[in-house]
Structures are given as structure tokens and as C-alpha cells.
Amino acid sequence: MKKGEGVYNVVVIGAGTAGLVTAAGTAGLGGRVALIERNLMGGDCLNFGCVPSKALISSARLIQQIRDAEKWGLDRQEPQFAFEKIFDRMRACRAKIAPNDSQERFESLGVDVFRGEARFVSPHEVEIYDPPSPQSSQSSAQSRSRGGREAPGEGRRLRAKNFVIATGSRAAIPKIEGIGTVPYFTNETIFDELKQKPESMIVLGGGPIGCELAQTFRRFGVDVTIVQRGDQLLPREDRDVAEFLERRLINEGVRIIKNADARSVAISDARKVALEFLDRQSGPLAERTLFADALLIAIGRTPNFRRLDLKSAEVDVNESGVCVNDYLQTSQRHIYAAGDVIGPFLFTHMADAQARVIVRNILVPFQFLRQKTDYSVVPWCTYTDPEVAHVGLGEKEAKQKNVDYDLFVVPLEDLDRAVVESEDAGFVKVLTAKGSDKILGAAMVGPHAGDLLHELVLAMKAGIGLGMIASTIHAYPTFAELAHKAGDKYNKTRFTPRAKKIFTWLYEHARR
């Protein structure tokens, strides 16, 4: 059947992670799939999110290591680098990954790709029309992925048995006075439109994106101030975890202002961005103004659904996004949604996991055979240095939910490998169900924490306890011994005075 004609099994709206995984999965199983993208193939993760941020973080880490050369017994030295070259490298990394998400690749998988903006005209039909003017921020790879694109939409309509809304999210912009009158960056512009190093930068928001980019720009030599509304960076983490990172950022020269309510922005006489905020830390009426060359907004995310005309499809939404049930169906059972547009976890791996559930649920004809989403074991990581990784319950959440737990903490300095690598700042904390070795959650702060966490993630998923991790041989000296040492700590709690008495008697008996 000709592209666009007849009825598709699935029409997917949005070619970010959620959309791409749904489209590839369904096409791979033999389904007829259309994929509609209004901007760049690959969505946020490839173009404006994970990939460019992690590429810059990688350069920033090396810069910092060179600055810290004396830690490894080298002479003190200043890193030599050009801001523009680091950004070129980031774009080259992105271009290397881009073909995986390209229109060509998806067409080769049998997916009909349409470039344009989709909106529902009924619960069973979408229309594709001209997207807003393309982002000025396109790398060569991205431009390439647009190569051979269809003439956008022109009101072309597609019909399908099922639809998947995978339209993602965008940076939330605070509704403060003057915001429309000053230049500012978000994740959609910072990687491609920041042409030279600013002397100073205000990062509005101290969540994962704000912290990652604040540290990165500081390491590039920018005078960075984080302005955070709450009293803690990384609000989802336990306070000790967040404070550990905060100390590190401060040591590197990042200025952090917490309990601050942004009030207004303007351009100062010296052509700087002037951010006025209420400093609740210093008193109820303390108004202060910060000046910087650049403003980066990272206060949170807004789901993209307003332009989809979901009323025509009779799909329910609320402020946090498109409403779905456990099977990821919207209020119209044949219309599914996944990724940032539904939450509750705004991560690439979550978008991927939800898309996999949808692929299966669309194929299965009966509701009782469909799979529910399982959010019981969801890891995440903030890629600051040190990395901050998390899975399951933290102490804060356990207390809120009245869950009794035991806590096992291992500092990184207990790890020989960390010491010889001069990377011994950090710790792991593991929560287990009170009196047992069942892992409820863990937080890791340290180099490679996002990778190391997965031993505990798998253990949680498979129902493996800390005792079993302790009895598993771990290679020495590795960072992976961290989980092993937490297991040893658990085992020690089982060595009660009564058990010691029995062992002492056995030893005495053996000597007779």
C-alpha cells in the first residue's frame, strides 16, 4: 500500500526515544507504522538533552582532572582548551550517534516517516501540517537526518487502529516579569546557539539539568551562579546526597543561592541580564539582583500536548501531561502515550521502557493479556562529578511512607581502587527492609555511580538480597566492590552476641 494511504496499525507522533522505540518495535514485528516528527529525528535526548550534555560533561571532566593534576603526582598545570572546539567535539559525537535515529534508518526498517506537525482531527485520524519554522540549531548530522524529507504535511491525513502520543516535553519558562524581553538559553538552544564563552552565567534551577550544566560551564571557566527556589539542590535526592554534591560544586567555584524566588529579569545598562529575586534565606523582604552575561533556564519541564488538539480525539489531559492508565492507554483505549508527555519519570530509559510496553499491548488483542507498567525499580543518574545515582526508596521517601528500614553506608575511601585512583570522594547508602537483606533502594555518589548502581538495580529486580551480593566474588580492586562492601556490612549485623558466643565455644572446643 502507498505511503500514507489506507489504515496503519500504529501512527506514532514524535520521533524521540518513546516514538522511535515504538515505531521500530512495531515495524520489527511486522506492523504497518507511520512516524510523524515536526522537528529533529531523535528528539530531546539526541539533539538537546542527554547526548550533547554528556559530551560536554566528558570534556569538562578532563579539564578538571588536568587542573587537579597534582592529585595524581603530576606538576600543577592549567588546561589549554578552546570553548568552540569543545562544542565542535560535542556536535561530532552527536553526529556519530544521529544515524541510529535518522529518517533513512527508520525507513529502512519499514516505517513510513512523515515530517510535519500532527494534530488529531478525530479519535481515529490525525492531520499533518507544516511545523513551525525549523530550529536554527542544527548540526550537520541533524541536517542530514532531515535529508530526503517529505514536503511537510499540507494537511495530509493518516488513519490508524492505534495511535501513540510520544511528543515529549520542553523547558518550562517561568512567568516572571520581563522574561519576554531578555535573551535566555534553554536546553534547546544552549548546545547550538551559544557561540562563545560567556564570562558569567546564571543557571535558574538546581535540578539535574541545572547542576550538570552549571558544573560543566564552571569547569569551562564561566563564573556560574545557580539560583534554586527550594532549600536543596536535586530535590528528589536525600539531603545528605544533595549536600555532598553542593559542597563539591561550591569547592569548584559554583555560587549557589537557595530559597530564592525569581521575580523579574531585565537587561542592565552594562548589557547584562539582571535577575531580581526574593532571597528568602536572608529574610522575608530581601530583594537582590544578580547580573550575568548569560541566563540558562532549567527549572523543570512542560509536557508537549497543547498543539495536538486532543479534544478532537477525546483524550484527557492534566497539568502534568496526557493521562494514562497502567497499560499506558489514554482515555481512548486505542490511543497510547509514552515518555516525557506522561511522566512520571522524565528519562530516556523510562521512555524506552514505556514504549516497549506499548508495542506489546498494541499487539495483544485482549486487555487481560496486556502488560502493566512497573515503576517499582527505576534507576536514574545525575551526571555531575561525582555522579549521583539512585534507585528505589531513599531515606526521605521511606520516612514519608513510614517504611521501616536498615541503612548500610560505605564511604568510597574504604575502597582501595578509589584511593589509588584519587577518586575517593563519595559513598553508597543502601536501604534494606528492617531485619532483612531485601534491598529497598540505594543511592550512590561517586565516579561511575550511574554504572555501578546497576548491580543493585538488578538485585532489586531479581529479588537478590545484600547477603547474596556479599557472597558473590567481586574482582579486586574495583569500584564494583562498593556493593560487596555494603553486603559485608549487612552480614556483620547478623553476627549477634549470641552467634559470637556459639563461635567462641566452637573454637574453644576445637583447641581441646
Ligand X SMILES: Cc1cc2nc3c(=O)[nH]c(=O)nc-3n(C[C@H](O)[C@H](O)[C@H](O)COP(=O)(O)OP(=O)(O)OC[C@H]3O[C@@H](n4cnc5c(N)ncnc54)[C@H](O)[C@@H]3O)c2cc1C
CB of 51 to ligand X, least distance (A): 8
Q: Which helix (H) or strand (E) holds 127?
A: strand 125-129
Among 347, 408, 427, 490, binds ligand X (CB under 6 A): 347
Q: What is the total residue count of the chain?
A: 512
Parallel, antiparallel or unpaired: strands 112-115 and 33-37: parallel
| DSSP codes joined into one string, 364-397 | -SSGGGSPPP--SS-EEEE-SSSEEEEEE--HHH
Residue 299 within binding range of ligand X, rule CB under 6 A: no
Among 10, 11, 35, 49, binds ligand X (CB under 6 A): 49
CB of 137 to ligand X, least distance (A): 13
- Give me the torsion for CA of 206, 209, 212, 216, rounded to 10°: -100
HSE-up (13 A, CA, CB side) for residue 111: 30
Residue 50 within binding range of ligand X, rule CB under 6 A: yes
Residues 6+ apart with CB under 8 A from 156: 4, 114, 116, 127, 128
Report residue 390 as a C-alpha cell. Answer: 539512585
Residue 47's CB is within 10 A of a number of other CB atoms, namely 28
Give the x/- contact pattern for ligand X in 300-329, rule: CB under 6 A: ----x--xx---------------------
Closest of 256, 267, 261, 266 to residue 232, by C-alpha: 256
Q: How far apart are CA 489 and CA 495, in angstroms?
A: 10
Residue 163 or 427 having the CB closest to ligand X: 163
CB of 117 to ligand X, least distance (A): 4
Residue 48 or 405 having the CB closest to ligand X: 48
CB of 310 to ligand X, least distance (A): 10
Q: How far apart are CA 196 and CA 218, in angstroms?
A: 14
Among 23, 351, 412, 415, binds ligand X (CB under 6 A): 351
Residue 337 within binding range of ligand X, rule CB under 6 A: no
CA angle 159, 362, 104 (to 5 degrees): 65
Between residue 368 and residue 397, which ones bind ligand X under the rule CB under 6 A?
A: 383
Among 11, 12, 18, 234, binds ligand X (CB under 6 A): 18
Tell me phi and psi for residue 339, to 5 degrees.
90, -155
Q: How many residues bind ligand X (CB under 6 A)?
A: 39
CB of 209 to ligand X, least distance (A): 5
Closest of 71, 90, 70, 67 to residue 80, by C-alpha: 67
Between residue 123 and residue 182, which ones bind ligand X under the rule CB under 6 A?
A: 166-169
Among 8, 19, 219, 358, binds ligand X (CB under 6 A): 19
Residue 203 within binding range of ligand X, rule CB under 6 A: no
Among 241, 245, 346, 443, binds ligand X (CB under 6 A): 346
Residue 44 or 455 having the CB closest to ligand X: 44
Report residue 285 as a C-alpha cell. Answer: 523582604
Give the x/- contact pattern for ligand X in 481-510, rule: CB under 6 A: ------------------------------
Residue 373 or 432 having the CB closest to ligand X: 373
Which stretches of the chain bind ligand X, using CB under 6 A? Answer: 13-19, 36-39, 43-45, 48-50, 53-54, 117-118, 166-169, 187, 209, 304, 307-308, 339-341, 346-349, 351, 383
